Structure 1
Amino acid sequence: MQNQAQKRLLLLLKLLYEQTDETRFVSAADILRYWERKGIHANRKNVYSDIQLLMDDGHDIICVKSTQNRYFIGSRLFELPELKLLADAVASSHFITQKKSAALLQKLARLTSTYNAEHLRHPVYMEGMTKPDNETIYYAIDALQTALYRKQAVSFQYYEYTTEKKKILKHNGYRYLFSPYALVWNRDFYYAVGWSVKHGKLAQFRVDRMTGIQPADAVYIADTGFDPVGYVRKVFGMYHEETQQVTLLCENKTMRSVIDRFGEGVDTMPVAANCFRAVVNVAPSPPFFAWVFTFSGAIRIEEPTDVLAKMKDMASWLVE
């Protein structure tokens, strides 16, 4: 009898989480029919007492009162908009294979009702998006995260491509000794940052090009002064120069792009009916100049003159 009651309770929980949401409900009669199909014989009193048990256990079961009360699951671990964001991130990720993406999306779908799960199956289209075929990156990330947690050195091999697009191990299969400090996500790729014995300094490696990662007997070389935020900004943003104040003359149509790059707090002022000035703090580096180039003159550097001169020098190779 106790086993029957436990099974009844588990089936009720399954029904509510899979078949109900804010727009779809079940009545006591629906629950009794569901139990009957599963070989459980019960009555309305069982429905009410079991629902109360689940509510006492913390499940958010909402009762819509009417001539025949109806029930649905209210709040869940993840709300539908949150699941949509996660599903889009999985579907569009460059390093997750097509097979793994499908498996992860199926698991995410189990966190909502079967009806809402349909909202997670619409693909995200991204220009030029490619998916890898190799799933070993998941194990590489796991090995590196474990090493980070344990502050343990690892060894690995690294590969590159020939002109025939064939993978080959660098330096004839040389095993790098590496003390990982951080994992960095940049432009849809994972990078491991840490101390490389071969280079004798901080270095970063693309995780999807690392292979044969394993714990090493070598001593972990720590760096208490390592600043991951500063490192990412300097190396991955290629900001090898100090930031300085730069004045830009911008056509009105570029306001959205200026805000996207520098935030809503960017200092701007109208100049004429069709343009404005923006004063920004930026490192005068190739990524910044490349950004200015994309607007074909709709954004121009006004001052300081030395920054404008650097941009002209960078562009000079185009006319040589």
Structure 2
Amino acid sequence: MLTEKANAICLLEVLKEYSDAEHILPMREIIGKMQSLYGIKIDRRTVYGAVALLIEIGYDISIYEDNGVGYYLRSRELEQSEVLLLTDAVYSFPFIPAKQTEQLVQKLQKQLSVHQRKRYRYLTISRQDRKTDNRQVFWNIEQLDEAIAQKKKVRLGYLHYGLDKKQHETKTYTLSPYEMVYMNERYYLICVPDHAPNTRLYRIDRMADIRILDEPRSEKSAQKQEAQDAVYAFVGAPERVVLHCDRAVLDDVLDRFGTDIQIFERDEQTFTAVLTTPPRGVRFWALQYLSFVEVAEPAWLRQEIIEVLKVNHYLT
């Protein structure tokens, strides 16, 4: 049985769940909901005291004297626009499994009143097939975070799709983990694997059965900046890259490589972009913009693209 000490807590829950600026609770509704939801018989004077206590400890509550109607929670930990933004993000992140997506969205919507939640009832996952089916993702993040904090190596299985469109464990890696980073709509682990002495990025949603080892991680530091500069998660030593581009793709160039790169006008239709980045990813990116982008430097990268074009299946 709830005691009088629960009055303020239960009242706060009523205000969170049922009140907002468009749905102000009159005193009679508050008294009714306290009775029906929590079995608490409460009078007006007790409501006044509970509201005063909540305001005193920092809750922003509009009272009858402010609005002439009743009471509502004026501000929340997350505002409606923030919940919408985060909800859209959770739906769009492909590394979050569908079931956990729905669970996260429900938790976010608990920050709103029941009336505000109705505006989100038609939101859904637009591309179910883009969501990972690896349900260990959040557990993976917890394990990796613990390993990084302890500076320990991890051993894990790595998943790849088979022709049956299901993920299967194809390899086992032992890695020295350093940091987790989000890029290209995916979560990656910045690490140095035992089998290769260079910085690598491995997708966290492709990991399974992570085990933290007693062995301390290699203290050959992973190149954080190198990983952050990676294009499409291709890492490597940064090099100077020169691109000749059509002005039609200026937005795309700056979206991909950032505004710190150098931009020079060539003529009315084209510009030159100079950047320093691991070049392997640039090859992948430039091949998608063949009609608009020409790689001028480095020479070896330009030649690699030429060789790729020679084996273009559409021209054979």
**Match runs of 1:171-250 below 5 Å:** 176-199=173-196, 202-217=199-214, 219-223=215-219, 225-234=221-230, 237-238=233-234, 240=236, 242-244=238-240, 246=242, 248-250=244-246
- For 2:208 and 2:164, the matched residues in 1 are separated by 20
Query: Per the alignment, do residues 129 and 187 of structure 1 end up closer, same or farther by CA in structure 2, a change over 3 Å counting?
Result: farther
Structure 2 CA distance for partners of 1:20 and 1:269, relative to 1, 3 Å: farther
Q: 2:251 aligns with which of 243, 256, 261?
A: 256
Greater alpha carbon shift after TM alignment, 302-311 vs 124-133: 302-311
Distance 1:140 1:198 in 2: 21
Aligned to 2:60: 60
Aligned counterparts of 1:302 and 1:133: Cα–Cα separation in 2: 38
State how far apart, in whole Å, the 2-side matches of 1:212 and 1:302 are: 42
Deviations 1:55-90 (A, max 9, x none): 001111123646844222122111122211221222
How many Å separate the matches in 2 of 1:260 and 1:296? Answer: 17
Instruction: Tell me how far 1:198 sits from its aligned partner.
Output: 3.8
**Separation (CA, whole Å) in 1 of partners of 2:125 and 2:198:** 40
Q: Is 1:317 aligned with 2:316? A: no
Per mean C-alpha deviation after superposition, the further-off stretch among 36-45 and 86-95 is 36-45
Counterpart residue number, 1:33: 32
- Partners of 2:154 and 2:211 within 8 A in 1: yes
Aligned counterpart, 1:119: 119
Instruction: Find 2:275's aligned residue among 272, 278, 281.
Output: 281
Alpha-carbon offset, residue 107 of structure 1: 1.4
Stretch moving more, 7-16 or 230-239: 230-239
Alpha-carbon shift at residue 43 of structure 1 (Å):
3.1
> What is the match of residue 20 of structure 2?
21
Q: 1:202 & 1:213 partners in 2: Cα distance?
A: 19
1:119-138 equivalences in 2 (<5 Å): 119-123=119-123, 129-138=129-138
Q: 1:126 to 1:280 in 2, by over 3 A?
A: farther
1:213 counterpart letter in structure 2: I
| TM-score, with length taken from structure 2 | 0.79
- How much has 1:39 moved relative to structure 2? 4.1
CA–CA distance in 2 between the matches of 1:283 and 1:154?
29
Matched positions, count: 311
Contact 1:94 1:189 in 2 (8 A): yes
Are the aligned partners of 1:98 and 1:131 in contact in 2 as well (CA < 8 Å)? yes
Distance of aligned partners of 1:29 and 1:305 in 2 relative to their CA distance in 1, 3 Å threshold = closer
Segment of structure 1 superposing worse, 43-52 or 225-234: 225-234
Of stretches 151-160 and 78-87 in structure 1, the one that deviates more from structure 2 is 151-160
Shift of residue 126 of structure 1? 5.1
* d(CA) in 2 for partners of 1:245, 1:158: 32
Gap regions ≥5 residues in structure 2? none
Superposed displacement of residue 25, structure 1: 1.2
Deviation string 1:13-70 (CA, Å, 9 cap, x unpaired) is: 1111111123221122332333344543433322222211110011111236468442
For residue 264 of structure 1, report the CA deviation from its aligned partner. Answer: 5.8
Contact 2:155/2:173 (8 A) holds in 1: yes
Q: Is the 8 A contact 1:87 1:120 kept in 2?
A: no
After TM superposition, give the deviation of residue 161 of structure 1 in Å: 5.0
**CA distance change for structure 1 residues 106 and 236 in 2, over 3 Å: closer, same or farther?**
same
Quick one: distance in 2 between partners of 1:208 and 1:214? 15
| 1:248, distance to aligned residue in structure 2 (A) | 3.0
